[in-house]
Amino acid sequence: MSIWRVLLAILFPPLSVLDKGCGSIVIVLILTLCGWIPGVIAALIILNNPNR
């Protein structure tokens, strides 16, 4: 996980998980619409997951 991806996850979470699949984008987008912090947390968790 690069520093640029982390900064992108903090500024605009759905864009940072763009290459992780449609489901990840939708989940992070919904959480970001509910609140910015849940979207950031979800994006960082998805980016930190080595299985995806």
> Are 44 and 26 contacting, i.e. CB atoms less than 8 angstroms apart?
no
Distance CA 52, CA 49 (A): 6
pLDDT in tens, 1-52: 789 999 999 999 999 999 888 999 999 999 999 999 999 999 999 999 877 6
DSSP the chain: --HHHHHHHHH-HHHHTGGG-HHHHHHHHHHHHH-HHHHHHHHHHHHH-TT-
Please, are residues 8 and 47 in contact by the beta-carbon 8 Å criterion?
Answer: no
In the block, tokens 């992780």 appear at 20
pLDDT at position 51: 78
Assessment of whether the complete model's pTM goes beyond 0.75: yes
